[in-house]
């Protein structure tokens, strides 16, 4: 059965024939009047074109494999090499370099050990007579020290005093204080040994090197960054970045300076994102960099992916200002004003044409007399001049 559509024109399905164009020498106003006269005041709702309906019906059929051909025999449709975009991956770091908890002792245990060592040292020195006796305190010296009146220093007392002193020194050397929002990264001979996130007083191995890392939520207002949009127009963007250090091991050991790394990545990501869209849409409406929500979401997503290998977490990257560079700011401002003026004039002319056409139709309806094409054009032209032209020019024309 032949299901092809007849190509002959059908009533009420094709637009009426275009009106005859005025001669070449006619003015632009005359052409506008001619178009307005032939334009219907009430427009019927557009019905879906038959070609579009057929395309919608044929679309799922085209995706099905032809009859008699197995699915695996279908030719593979590959994207041309020129249209394929190379996916750029963020840098990789050592997978074994991840933050883990370091071994630490609560601070009260270290303080108790320190007090015990100091008390033992004082007791040994008092018993041997090294510390002078205080009359108000009981005499705890040994018998030899009492008899001779001199310090009785023995090998056993020296060993106990050395052990107590060494314990006190090690305890004091291993004490550290972590304020809120700060951590200590421990390393020994360049090797990562863990991170202490315990707040307050803690004790760690005194032979380990301790470096402070701030893990609080931080914000950074960038300096004016000069980039170009998709049209090549130079623009200046200022950003507000909200971020924090998530993995202290990577932030400290995978890059030389994680703050400098973040600033450089902000510049690179901003340059790449700003080149995707124009700053303003002058010719036709469309997405632009003025859309703060899209711009902020795209910057946040791209920046978070770039700084994640360095142990940083980006919560938001918001554009504070998006301005043109000083060398093109004046010209772009004049262009924007000209576009607004042209759009306003177009609206005024369209409204005037509609009003003039409606006035002519009402005049024909009231007088019950249909004007010919020449009289209708002349009347439309005079009405448009009265609607659009300034008052001074209209009055001058009336006097003439």
pLDDT of 310-320, one tens digit each? 999 999 999 99
Cβ neighbors of 147 (< 8 A, separation 6 or more) are none
Helix (H, G, I), strand (E, B) or coil at 183: strand
Question: pLDDT exceeding 70 applies to what percent of the chain?
Answer: 66
Of 14-18, 58-62, 264-268, 365-369, which range is least confident? 58-62
pLDDT mean over 289-316:
91
pLDDT mean over 155-183:
90
The sign of the CA dihedral 133, 135, 136, 142 is: positive
Q: How many CA atoms lie within 13 A of 292 on its CB side?
A: 12
Q: Assess whether pLDDT exceeds 60 at residue 143.
A: yes
Do 261 and 310 meet the contact criterion of CB atoms below 8 Å apart?
yes
* Residue 52: predicted pLDDT: 44
Residue-wise pLDDT for 13-62, tens only, equals 444 444 444 444 445 555 654 565 455 444 444 444 444 434 443 444 34
Residue of 112, 4, 119, 114 lying closest to 51 (CA atoms): 4
**What does the chain come to in residues?**
400
* Residue 64: predicted pLDDT: 43
pLDDT mean over 342-346:
65
178: left (phi over 0), alpha (psi -120 to 50) or beta: beta
E strands, the chain, in order: 105-106, 175-178, 182-188, 191-196, 200-203, 209-214, 218-221, 225-228, 234-245, 312-324
Confidence category of residue 158, pLDDT binned at 50, 70, 90: confident
The CA distance from 353 to 359, in Å, is 10
User: Helix axis angle, 391-399 relative to 373-388, nearest 10°?
Assistant: 130
Q: Assess whether pLDDT exceeds 90 at residue 184.
A: yes
For residue 174, count CB atoms less than 10 angstroms from its CB and return exposed for 0-12, middle for 13-18, buried for 19 or more. buried
pLDDT mean over 111-126:
89
Q: Please report which residue ranges of 106-247 form alpha helices under DSSP H.
A: 107-127, 143-148, 155-174
Residue bearing tokens 């041309």: 80
Structure tokens at 96: 């074994």
Cβ neighbors of 178 (< 8 A, separation 6 or more) are 184, 196, 197, 198, 199, 200, 202
Q: What are phi and psi for residue 106, nearest 5 degrees?
A: -55, 150
Residue bearing tokens 């790394």: 261
Do 3 and 50 meet the contact criterion of CB atoms below 8 Å apart?
no
The sign of the CA dihedral 290, 291, 293, 296 is: negative
Do 357 and 380 meet the contact criterion of CB atoms below 8 Å apart?
yes
* Residue 30: predicted pLDDT: 56
């Amino acid at each position: 059965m032949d299901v092809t559509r007849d190509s002959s024109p059908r009533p009420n399905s094709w637009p009426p024939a275009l009106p005859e164009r005025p001669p070449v020498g006619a003015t632009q106003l005359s052409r506008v009047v001619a178009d307005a006269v032939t334009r219907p005041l009430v427009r019927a709702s557009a019905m879906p074109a038959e070609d579009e309906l057929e395309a919608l019906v044929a679309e799922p059929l085209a995706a099905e494999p032809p009859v008699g051909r197995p699915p695996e025999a279908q030719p593979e449709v590959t994207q041309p090499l020129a249209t394929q975009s190379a996916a750029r991956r963020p840098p990789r770091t050592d997978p074994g370099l991840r933050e883990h908890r370091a071994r630490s002792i609560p601070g009260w245990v270290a303080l108790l050990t320190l007090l015990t060592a100091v008390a033992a040292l004082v007791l040994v020195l008092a018993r041997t007579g090294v510390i002078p006796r205080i009359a108000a305190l009981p005499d705890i010296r040994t018998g030899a020290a009492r008899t001779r009146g001199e310090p009785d220093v023995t090998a056993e007392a020296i060993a106990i005093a050395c052990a107590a002193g060494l314990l006190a020194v090690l305890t004091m050397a291993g004490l550290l204080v972590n304020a809120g929002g700060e951590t200590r990264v421990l390393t020994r001979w360049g090797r990562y040994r863990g991170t202490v996130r315990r707040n307050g007083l803690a004790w760690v191995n005194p032979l380990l090197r301790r470096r402070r890392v701030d893990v609080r939520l931080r914000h950074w207002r960038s300096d004016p960054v000069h980039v170009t949009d998709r049209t090549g127009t130079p623009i200046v963007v200022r950003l507000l970045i909200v971020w924090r250090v998530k993995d202290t091991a990577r932030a400290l050991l995978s890059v030389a300076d994680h703050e400098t790394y973040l600033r450089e990545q902000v510049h690179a990501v901003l340059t790449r994102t700003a080149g995707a869209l124009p700053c303003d849409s002058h010719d036709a409406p469309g997405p632009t960099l003025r859309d703060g929500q899209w711009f902020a979401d795209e910057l946040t997503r791209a920046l978070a992916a770039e700084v994640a290998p360095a142990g940083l977490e980006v919560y938001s990257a918001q554009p504070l200002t998006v301005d043109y560079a000083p060398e093109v700011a004046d010209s772009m401002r004049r262009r924007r004003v000209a576009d607004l003026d042209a759009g306003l004039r177009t609206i005024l002319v369209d409204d005037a044409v509609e009003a003039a056409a409606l006035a002519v139709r009402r005049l024909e309806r009231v007088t019950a007399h249909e004007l010919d094409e020449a009289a209708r054009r002349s009347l439309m032209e005079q009405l448009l001049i009265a609607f659009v032209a300034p008052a001074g020019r209209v009055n001058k024309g009336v006097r003439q």
